[in-house]
């Protein structure tokens, strides 16, 4: 990226949030902090009103807006691909909002870029796994996002795992996607604890107008650490993948309750939450010696049993 493009991109980044740290800019463009300071100075000398707070970051003075920005062909393609994911992996409320945003993006594209997207449109597809959904899918993701930010208590009619319809007052703390579905993490006033609600099992949702104070566990990562206590049917799983093989599970892992990953020298440790160790065992078996199970012991036993069954099966085949 040449310097002019970088300066333009930095200006756009500064308008994307209230405060932008110099480290964020340096990481995004893989440049030194000294170069960041020099670029910010150049923008200020060009008349851009940039303010700074010591130890915090840079900000654009209120009232300044960058004129409409033209998208590059790669950026437009990325947005179109994101639209495919939104279409398959969100509900109608988010899909309609994204569709409106995408029309606005297309409106400022050049004719060549529009032709490029039209040609690409029919050659990219995202297949959504077939799932058994006991309740109507609804259109609640947008309302749930607003409630998370506003810390607003919601009244929901929810189908439990036993297909029992219950009404809950919940305090939403976040949304995350795993096992091919969106999940709302919230404090359930009926159960007096944190719970995991599959969004496609919410039949009705009403705003109460009541706000709540965050509880001791207020972030998604903190919740992950307590999820097993709140949902006793979910099993915590820790797997070590050989680093060279970890690349191949980046997509499939989300269908098995992936939560987080971390480096472990020559391996990558991945943590999962699952309700069925047997399904996970069959998935892990396909990676052979590239996988090391840290916990639970029960999963190791299931893998051993599957291997013994396979060995017995193929020994019989050879003797026929």
For the ranges 39-53, 67-81, 262-276, which has the lowest average pLDDT? 67-81
> In sequence order, what are the beta bridge partners of 65?
none
Give the mean pLDDT of 171-199: 84
Confidence class for position 217, pLDDT limits 50, 70, 90: low
pLDDT score, position 273: 80
For the ranges 193-207, 213-227, 258-272, which has the lowest average pLDDT? 213-227
pLDDT score, position 128: 60
pLDDT score, position 35: 94
Higher pLDDT, 167 or 100: 167
pLDDT score, position 135: 38
pLDDT score, position 36: 92
pLDDT score, position 198: 86
pLDDT greater than 80 at residue 47:
yes
List pLDDT tens digits, range 23-40. Answer: 999 998 999 999 999 999
Percent of the chain exceeding pLDDT 70 equals: 84
List pLDDT tens digits, range 70-117. Answer: 677 788 888 888 888 888 778 888 888 888 888 777 777 777 887 888
Contact 60, 48 (CB under 8 A): yes
pLDDT score, position 69: 64
- Token pair belonging to 82: 């994101």
Contact 304, 293 (CB under 8 A): no
Give the mean pLDDT of 196-222: 82
Q: Is 203 exposed, middle or buried (0-12, 13-18, 19+ CB in 10 A)?
A: middle
| Residue pointed to by tokens 């998208």 | 71
Whole-angstrom CA distances from 194 to 105, 154, 271, 287 are 39, 14, 20, 34
pLDDT score, position 121: 75
For the ranges 134-143, 229-238, 255-264, which has the lowest average pLDDT? 134-143
The whole model's pTM is what? Answer: 0.54
| Long-range contacts at 69-73 (CB < 8 A, ≥ 24 apart) | 69/8, 69/12, 69/108, 70/108, 70/109, 70/110, 71/105, 71/108, 71/109, 71/113, 73/112, 73/113, 73/116
List pLDDT tens digits, range 237-250. Answer: 999 999 888 888 87
pLDDT greater than 50 at residue 136:
no
DSSP the chain: --HHHHHHHHHHHHTSSS-B-HHHHHHHHT--HHHHHHHHHHHHHTT--EEEETTTEEEEPTT--PPPPPPPHHHHHHHHHHHHHHHHHS-HHHHHHHHHHHHHHHHTS-HHHHHHHHHHHTT---PPPP---SS---S-HHHHHHHHHHTEEEEEEEE-TT--EEEEEEEEEEEEEETTEEEEEEEETTTTEEEEEEGGGEEEEEEEEEE----S--SHHHHHHHHHHH-TT-EEEEEEEEHHHHGGGTTGGGGGTEEEEEEETTEEEEEEEES-HHHHHHHHHTTGGGEEEEE-HHHHHHHHHHHHHHHHHHHHHHH-
Residue whose C-alpha is closest to residue 90's, from 132, 126, 135 = 126
28: left (phi over 0), alpha (psi -120 to 50) or beta: alpha
Q: Is 141 exposed, middle or buried (0-12, 13-18, 19+ CB in 10 A)?
A: buried
């Amino acid at each position: 990226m040449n310097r002019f493009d970088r300066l333009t991109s930095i200006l756009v980044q500064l308008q994307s949030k209230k405060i932008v740290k110099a480290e964020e800019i340096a990481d995004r463009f893989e440049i030194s902090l000294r170069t960041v300071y020099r670029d910010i100075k150049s923008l200020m000398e060009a008349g851009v009103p940039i303010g700074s707070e010591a130890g915090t970051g840079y900000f654009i003075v209120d009232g300044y807006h960058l004129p409409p920005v033209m998208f590059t062909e790669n950026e437009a393609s990325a947005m179109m691909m994101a639209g495919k994911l939104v279409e398959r992996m969100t509900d109608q409320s988010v899909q309609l909002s994204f569709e409106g945003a995408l029309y606005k993006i297309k409106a400022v594209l050049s004719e060549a870029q529009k032709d490029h997207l039209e040609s690409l449109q029919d050659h990219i597809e995202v297949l959504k796994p077939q799932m058994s959904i006991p309740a109507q899918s609804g259109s609640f993701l947008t309302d749930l996002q607003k409630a998370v930010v506003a810390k607003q208590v919601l009244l929901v009619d929810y189908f439990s795992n036993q297909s029992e319809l219950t009404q809950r007052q919940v305090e939403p703390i976040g949304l995350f996607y795993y096992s091919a579905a969106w999940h709302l993490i919230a404090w359930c006033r009926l159960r007096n604890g944190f719970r995991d609600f599959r969004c496609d099992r919410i039949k009705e949702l009403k705003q109460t107008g009541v706000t709540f104070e965050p509880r001791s566990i207020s972030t998604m990562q903190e919740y992950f650490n307590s999820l097993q206590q709140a949902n006793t049917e979910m099993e915590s799983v820790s797997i070590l993948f050989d680093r060279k093989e970890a690349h191949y599970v980046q997509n499939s892992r989300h269908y098995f309750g992936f939560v987080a990953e971390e480096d472990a020298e020559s391996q990558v440790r991945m943590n999962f939450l699952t309700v069925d160790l047997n399904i996970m065992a069959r998935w892990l078996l396909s990676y052979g010696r590239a996988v090391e199970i840290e916990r639970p012991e029960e999963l190791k036993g299931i893998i051993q049993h599957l291997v013994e069954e396979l060995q017995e099966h193929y020994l019989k085949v050879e003797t026929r």
